Amino acid sequence: MQIKEFVAEYTYDTNLDIVNIEVKKEYVHQKSIELEFGVFLDFDENYLPVNLEIISASKILDINKENLVNPDGNVTITIGKDIVNVEVVFKFKNEDEAIKLTTLNDFGCPSSQTSFALT
């Protein structure tokens, strides 16, 4: 299995309640998939995950908006033959909050594991 680790830029728009986690490397966008309503994962031309967008993030993640402004954390994306698993972990002072999403790999993306560190 191909394993890639990237540093990602984390942004949160408090007015629109949108989290965007995008790798800090140049890439050519190839495809976007919706993991669940309001959660999108983008892939580059090599079908490596490069961007995760969460619309209505505080509701989907069940996290107070203030906690989304500048959290520590990471994203792990595991792609298998049949499924795509995404785990987002936000690290706060007293606890960690995690969201796990799974969808079918019905677009033929090769198996891989990718991790983003939030900065």
8-12, 38-42, 99-103: range with lowest mean pLDDT = 99-103
Q: What is the pLDDT of residue 119?
A: 67
Residue of 29, 30, 10, 7 lying closest to 20 (CA atoms): 10
26-30, 45-49, 102-106, 107-111: range with lowest mean pLDDT = 107-111
**Rg, C-alpha atoms of the chain:** 14
Rounded Cα distance between 106 and 109, Å, is 8
Q: Residue 100: how many CB atoms within 10 A of its CB? A: 10
Q: What is the pLDDT of residue 2?
A: 58
CA angle 7, 44, 15 (to 5 degrees): 65
Q: What is the pLDDT of residue 101?
A: 85
Residue 116: pLDDT above 70?
yes
Pairing of strands 72-79, 29-36: unpaired
Rounded Cα distance between 58 and 62, Å, is 5
Question: Where along the chain do its domains lie?
Answer: 2-118
- Phi, psi torsion values for 68, nearest 5 degrees: -90, -5
Q: What is the pLDDT of residue 17?
A: 97
